[in-house]
Structure 1
Amino acid sequence: MWPFTTLAQAQAWQQEYRAGGHQPWHLDPDQTALSFTQGYLGFKDVGRVTQRTATGRDARIGVGLSLPPGAEGYKGTVAVIHLVRYGAGPDAPWEVVGTDDTTFSLTTPAYGSVVRSPVSTGGRLTGVDESIRVDVRQPSSTAPIGTSCCIPAGGNSQSWNATVSFTGASDPVLTIVASTGGHISEVERFTVTAVRTG
């Protein structure tokens, strides 16, 4: 899903790293998760690691709001980012492959499916007075290539859905991200899935 869209890109980074130490953050799952959240998704307030589990080639990194200690929501986890090592060797970089979802999920479209615009999205959410935003992103673009906002939702494991139109898709893999917030921060929970452009 991110930051590399192909194995060849990951291998090219490995060669650059071995030659001159280029972008060493790719070897750190915490930094990769935060770069994904703040840099790629644009969630600037989500800048803290809340939990970490890394075993071999698999890691799950919880990210949370950058709030002062003691503030409401300080210890909360906004999302758990799932990462895997992409490629071979001890310096294979970390790659974001999705999120582990509990109270907020994005199950439509299916992970890895081929999509075209407009795309139907949906999942389940537990919460009160939520407002869901859905963005379609690709690594080669700084801004979303499609957005749907703001879908009211709430209840206990209630279904939600939205249709999102997008234009300018040129990368082989797109990220669909659904986020909700508005109580203490613009983004308090998010969930992602990866799809293909065909």
Structure 2
Amino acid sequence: MMLAPATFATALPPDVAVLFRAEELPTPVLPRGVDFDLQPEGPFAWASPTWPAGDTLQEWAQDWLERPDPPRAWIGLTGHGLQSTAVRVCIATPSLAIFIVRRWTEALDQGPILRRRIEGAFGLSAQLLHDASEAQRAQAWPANQRLLLIDDDFDSQRWAWLAPGEGLDALQVDAMAYISALADIDALRSAAVA
């Protein structure tokens, strides 16, 4: 498995980068070449115009299952400032969706460890986006399959390959969801080369 090149990330709107820098957080990664057209959705959130209504990961993931096109994203902080509770980064492409909710607060000296956990989630999601793109380019992506990964600090990590008609109940709880998904994609790419 090779690390995603730094050039894989697309540029974020300046306001997003400024907010994440102000919080001393790493910036999330969106795949290059996809226009997510992020627009402000309140003072601390940005979303694609096609992002669904609702406020829960389950609602957003269900929308993606029913409507995988067009690519869309949602990035933001919930409860910004002293009340900050979470970083949310949700990326949905026709074949892959990653929904991340990571706790974020500076209270009780939690900032450094939570910052590292956010950085880890962003790094693994960037790797997953990169490897998925490479698998598709190599025509190794399974036909009629989509990959959904939910990384929710307030619930659990879960993921699955989903065929048309499968729902959120098919997701497998897996504390190593990113690694499991990356290993599956790596195996697909290796099998396509063999």
TM-score w.r.t. the length of structure 2 is 0.29
Q: Higher strand fraction: Structure 1 or Structure 2? A: 1
Task: Report which of the two has the higher share of helix.
Answer: 2
TM-score of the aligned structures, taking structure 1 as reference length: 0.29
Higher relative contact order (CA 8 A, sep 6+): 1
